[in-house]
Amino acid sequence: MKNKLFVLIGVVLFLGKAYGQQDPEFTQFMDNKMYYNPAYAGVEGLTRLSLLLRSKWTGYSGTFDDGGAPTSEVLTMSAPIYKLNSGFGAYIINDHLGTLNNLALQGSYAYHVAVKDAKLSFGVNVGFYSQSIDFDKYRPNDPGDVLLLEGKQTQFRPDMGFGVFYQAKNLYGSVSVAHLLSPSFNFGTDELRNSLEPTLYVMGGYHYDVTYNIELTPSLLVQSDFNEYLINLGAMVTYNEKFWGGISYKYLESASLIVGMSLLKDNSLQIGYGFDYVVHDQQAKQATSNELRLSYALPINPFGSRKVVRTPRFRH
């Protein structure tokens, strides 16, 4: 079984191409499942709020006043609805790329089906996606160019996605598709038209108990616009259900170190940090990126009265 797994990973890496980024990427993807898949809503069995802040290529500065290094902020919420065997979730993300700013707000609903000792969840998210461009930050060679608009222009478009999530005792798997409506933005000029392509996310992980206090969790994330691929591989070690650390590798991009810990008596507060080091094509980027994650699980579930039993396996 292990040999087959290594062969599969090798094939994925061999076939994978550089993925043209249209959505932000996160080093701590294994702890950010609500963002990637609406079917994850309520799967944990508790209400959780998470905030993730990312500074990509920290210290990068362009030739012109383009806003500096890319930054992303995402706030997610997930809660179970016990009486309906389902869950509710939401996220808001702000992604700043030079003169371009992307903002999305999505609400999610997931229905849970018991499969023996596991849980199979089907989810959908709907909301809006907006793009803004500050044309005043451009320095054109031809000031009379008809494509050069004035000021900050913003457009809003509806958006939606769909996903399936499987959670067992030692295994989880996730498949989802974002941007099913392919929202298109043109800012009033067809020559500027661009669309968000439907994006496929495939994620999975396996929890292996090394000892009574140590757990090893390898994980995988593949994302694709159905033309090109981006592959992330990670491995995390959790000690005593409270401290964790590990590494990840983004194919043809960067290597990363991840550390974190749970706080408070019931481990309801989590803090995680990710550090990336670019190992490919450094000449066009700054070498490092930084990512901070804060997460808090509410002690009382507002959508049901069932007592919450906290299980670390559903939390890292």
Q: Is the pLDDT of residue 109 over 90?
A: yes
Classify residue 271 by burial, with Cβ atoms within 10 Å: 0-12, 13-18, 19+.
Answer: middle
Question: What number is the average pLDDT over the span 282-299?
Answer: 86
Query: Tens digit of pLDDT for each residue in 146-168?
Result: 666 666 788 899 999 999 999 99
Check: CB of residue 165 under 8 Å from CB of residue 173: yes
First to last CA, the chain: 24
Report the pLDDT value the prediction gives residue 253, as an integer from 0 to 100.
87
Q: Is the pLDDT of residue 17 over 50?
A: no
Q: What is the C-alpha separation between 176 and 39, in angstroms, rounded? A: 8
Contacts of residue 310, defined as CB under 8 A and 6 or more positions apart, other chains included, come to 46, 266, 267, 268, 297
* Integer-rounded Cα radius of gyration of the chain: 20
Query: Tens digit of pLDDT for each residue in 177-207?
Result: 999 999 988 877 776 678 889 999 999 999 9
Report the pLDDT value the prediction gives residue 186, as an integer from 0 to 100.
81
pLDDT band at 306 (very low <50, low <70, confident <90, very high): low
Check: CB of residue 268 under 8 Å from CB of residue 299: yes
Classify residue 111 by burial, with Cβ atoms within 10 Å: 0-12, 13-18, 19+.
Answer: middle
Check: CB of residue 6 under 8 Å from CB of residue 258: no
pLDDT band at 4 (very low <50, low <70, confident <90, very high): very low
**303 or 150: which leads in pLDDT:** 150
57 Rama class: left (phi>0) / alpha (psi -120 to 50) / beta: left
Report the pLDDT value the prediction gives residue 147, as an integer from 0 to 100.
62
The token pair at 204 is: 């999975």
Report the pLDDT value the prediction gives residue 5, as an integer from 0 to 100.
36
Q: What is the C-alpha separation between 295 and 258, in angstroms, rounded? A: 15
Which domains, ranges and CATH numbers included, belong to the chain? Answer: 2-314 (2.40.160)
- Which residue type sits at 138? Y
pTM: 0.84
Q: Quick one: how far is CA 24 from the chain centroid? A: 7
Query: Tens digit of pLDDT for each residue in 239-256?
Result: 998 999 999 999 888 999
Report the pLDDT value the prediction gives residue 14, as an integer from 0 to 100.
36
Ranking 63-67, 262-266, 276-280 by mean pLDDT, the lowest is: 63-67
The token pair at 154 is: 């913003």
Query: Tens digit of pLDDT for each residue in 120-142?
Result: 999 999 999 999 888 777 666 66
